[in-house]
Structure 1
Amino acid sequence: MKKIAFVDLLFHWPAGGGSWNDLFQIASGMKKRGFEVKLFVPDFDLYFPRGVIKSELPFEVCHIPFNKLTFNFVNVPRKFKEAIDKFKPDYVFLGDGYFLKPYVSKALKDYPQIFRFYSYEIICSNNKLFFADSEICSNNIFDDSVKCKKCRFGNISLLKECAKIILNWKINAYPFSRIMFHFTQEYLFSVVFLNYYKYVVSESIKGVSRIVVYNDYVKDVVTKLNKQVEMIPSGVNTEKFVPLEKKRDNGIKKILMAGRVAEYAKGLTILENAFKLLLSKRNDIMLMLTVDDYFKPYENRFQGEYFKLIKWVDQDNLPAIYNEADIVVVPSLWMEPFGIVAVEAMACGLPVIASAVGGLQNIVVDGETGFLVTPGDEKALMDKIELLLDSPDLRESMGKKGRKLAESLYSWDKIIDKYYVPLFS
């Protein structure tokens, strides 16, 4: 029986984002197909729930403890290598992670390694968003690493930032404090600000057996260093995410934005303005938003009968949220690496209006399963929403085509059999 060591520096369960559900599905699927699977995660949850697992997983998990000082570019790769050497895997799958990810990759260079890019991690210093000064950035660490450093910290003193980490300075001052400490701690303790980091990233990419990406942009960047690059989509459980009969609430039509909507780059402000334009013309609509603790500063803007705020739910309860909606909108301003919300919505038989950016362009078939609009264009977004609101037959037709596409291209079983079984052969 062949062994696969899955490594993820951010994994927690239930998943708070698409990358961790993606890894869960791949690991579970490979175990079902006869592989011995073990997941290796850090236990370090001061700023972010790294390694926090609240429900049983179908595979073994190895927890490796760290603190804010030991979670660094020396200790993390060393401890992960020690743990993985004991397991003696045939393959290593390196999943999500930020700036420490290339160090771990280099430490595991003796194993056949699949390096998974879930976003723009390690080639973008701005929290992997490629989103500087509120617009899509055309730079990366290989083009101009100095610009990347300025984007992350500007003229802020690195020594002061280190002192804040050590002293836990204002760690709970405001809702985003912990998440910012999370990024800052890893940035500093990975020495991303040194030219050496660019070398580590380059060597780690060159040294792996195979690289898996979501979109053409990342593929083009990393192909310059390693030709063994494959584009593999994420998937959806098409037996769980299914169309359900909708209950009508007095003729109210519901528009859903799902995911981490509090992040500016997700485009909530654009949808908010488009929705308010619609409200000036009609009163038969409701905006549904999935929210978490980071949304609290914005709650007052979304109160009243035309809004519904839904607390963050896990994968088991998410299909019911989708099925309450009539339309799903993904108004992203940044280059979405993939666009799992669009896939989940299509699996539930819903039309999707999405920004024509990043991986979303490869998912939504414009005019067939929904519409693509220019990022940031509130008027265009409003027009497409209104068109679907007033066209029940079009909504149904697009929903059916979306469901068919999700079943044919994004079913997890099909993705694992088509891509991952050969990858681990």
Structure 2
Amino acid sequence: MTPRYESAGVIEYTGARGPTRHARALDLARGRVGLSRSAVARFYAPLADAISAREPAFVLAHNAPVLPWLLRDTDHRVVLYAHNDLLRTYSRHEAGRMLESVAAIVCVGESLAERTRAALPGSLAERVRVVRNGIDCERFTPSANGGTAPPGNRAAPLRIVFVGRMIAEKGPDVLIRAAEQLGRADLEFVLIGSHGFARDAPVSPYEQELRRLADSARSRSGADIRFEPFVDRMSLPAMLRDADVLVVPSRWAEPSGLTAAEGLATGLPVIASRVGGLPDVVGTAGLLVEPDDAAVLAEAIAALADDRELRRRMSQRARAHALEHDWSWAWSNLRGVLEEL
């Protein structure tokens, strides 16, 4: 896997083929009757073998609940590092059996931690810790104007940007409906992303529906809406610097909200849904709105569009908040958890 971080040593191993959809379904059935999930165990077994013979150490098992079980007879201290709701298909009994030997379970937000604790037996719930993700403040930096130019005094409209997968859970349709309600010539809405992680991926049925919704918004109110396909990590910082406002209109419980964090680091005023881990990420540096409410979102966008001073203050707060929660801050928190163990 590339790119690789120069700060980390690499353990290479020959991996196994990932489980098919049918195999995952069988795993789910096996887990419900108290058996091990053999397909996912086979996938992670080469990794466990590569780790097990090494000197005892902390092993951070990223989104891999099976790894503590595979390494249960070793001297390693395995920490399950949860970036998603990993136990949603596990019974409390199965979760207890698979994670009995885990040293700790680290969740990237309090909302995710609450759901994880609820899925665990009491003894394991006590091992849950929260370590929020850090923000990359070196790659993501503000533009020269910081998004503070007022409408009417700039060569182009104020650019309102969505970045993420074009799936219903991310709520891009909510932003399109808000754009239609606003119908302002001084605003430009750019939706960046694809259903998958490739620029040339086929347009999904949901993406087709988004385009129909955008066409309707243009015809009804003259809203300026355009789409950009998926952009890679190297291109994203420049695209965010070209934006004036970032909107994260998710309707599902985002565990953390990477895009919101990167918008803050770029010094963008951020409007995000009050759901999942997004309030933790945005804090008081952005505006929070109820999910799936286009009218409320439109009001928040209008408030920013009409108030240059508000955008300036939010831009400054955004960057300051990001710098206070960079990767060194996150690493310090994680190190504190490991030292407790």
Correspondence list, 1:166-205, <5 A: 199-205=93-99
Correspondence list, 1:88-127, <5 A: 88-96=55-63, 101-109=64-72, 110=74, 111-121=76-86, 123-125=87-89
Give the aligned partner of residue 43 of structure 2: 76
1:324 aligns with 2:228: no
Q: Which runs of 4+ in 1 moved over 4 A?
A: 67-71, 246-249, 302-305
What do the CA deviations read for 1:17-50 (whole angstroms, capped 9, x no partner)?
xxxxxxx7xxx4xx74xxx644xxxxxxxxxxxx
The one-letter code of the counterpart of 1:414 is W
For the aligned residue pairs, the C-alpha RMSD in angstroms reads 2.7
1:375 aligns with 2:340: no
Query: TM-score normalised to the size of structure 1?
Result: 0.63
1:420 aligns with 2:338: no
Give the aligned partner of residue 266 of structure 2: 348
The one-letter code of the counterpart of 1:124 is R
Correspondence list, 1:23-172, <5 A: 28=5, 32=7, 37-38=9-10, 60-66=11-17, 68=19, 72-96=39-63, 101-109=64-72, 110=74, 111-121=76-86, 123-125=87-89, 141-142=90-91
Match of 1:250 among 134, 151, 155: 155
1:345 to partner: Cα distance: 0.6
What do the CA deviations read for 1:168-188 (whole angstroms, capped 9, x no partner)?
xxxxxxxxxxxxxxxxxxxxx
Give the aligned partner of residue 395 of structure 1: 311
The one-letter code of the counterpart of 2:134 is G
The one-letter code of the counterpart of 2:77 is P
Gapped regions of structure 1 (runs ≥ 5):
1-11, 15-23, 39-59, 126-140, 143-197
Give the aligned partner of residue 288 of structure 1: 190
What do the CA deviations read for 1:230-257 (whole angstroms, capped 9, x no partner)?
2111122212211112598733111111
1:211 aligns with 2:110: no
- My pick for the range that moved more, 396-405 or 317-326, is 317-326
Q: Distance in 2 between matches of 1:362 and 1:68?
A: 34
What do the CA deviations read for 1:194-240 (whole angstroms, capped 9, x no partner)?
xxxx5332223332111111222332344434222221111222122
Distance change in 2, residues 1:424/1:369 (3 Å): closer
1:319 to partner: Cα distance: 1.3
1:336 to partner: Cα distance: 1.0
Distance change in 2, residues 1:348/1:78 (3 Å): closer
Q: Distance in 2 between matches of 1:294 and 1:352?
A: 30
Distance change in 2, residues 1:252/1:354 (3 Å): same
Asked whether the equivalents of residues 235 and 340 of structure 1 are also in contact (C-alpha less than 8 Å), the reply is: no
1:323 to partner: Cα distance: 1.2
Q: Distance in 2 between matches of 1:237 and 1:67?
A: 30
SS at 1:397's partner residue? helix
- My pick for the range that moved more, 316-325 or 212-221, is 212-221
Asked whether the equivalents of residues 16 and 46 of structure 2 are also in contact (C-alpha less than 8 Å), the reply is: no
Q: Distance in 2 between matches of 1:68 and 1:382?
A: 43
1:89 to partner: Cα distance: 4.7
Give the aligned partner of residue 198 of structure 2: none
1:288 to partner: Cα distance: 1.1
What do the CA deviations read for 1:353-394 (whole angstroms, capped 9, x no partner)?
1111111111223xx522111111111110010110111111
Asked whether the equivalents of residues 76 and 104 of structure 1 are also in contact (C-alpha less than 8 Å), the reply is: no
Asked whether the equivalents of residues 18 and 43 of structure 2 are also in contact (C-alpha less than 8 Å), the reply is: no
- My pick for the range that moved more, 74-83 or 356-365, is 74-83
Query: TM-score normalised to the size of structure 2?
Result: 0.77
Equivalent pairs counted in the alignment come to 294
Distance change in 2, residues 1:115/1:67 (3 Å): closer
SS at 1:93's partner residue? strand
Asked whether the equivalents of residues 290 and 312 of structure 1 are also in contact (C-alpha less than 8 Å), the reply is: yes
Q: Distance in 2 between matches of 1:64 and 1:356?
A: 39
Aligned residues with identical type, % of pairs:
25
Match of 1:238 among 137, 146, 152: 137
Asked whether the equivalents of residues 206 and 225 of structure 1 are also in contact (C-alpha less than 8 Å), the reply is: no
Q: Distance in 2 between matches of 1:340 and 1:395?
A: 21
Distance change in 2, residues 1:217/1:415 (3 Å): closer
Distance change in 2, residues 1:358/1:251 (3 Å): same
Q: Distance in 1 between matches of 2:12 and 2:229?
A: 28
SS at 1:394's partner residue? helix
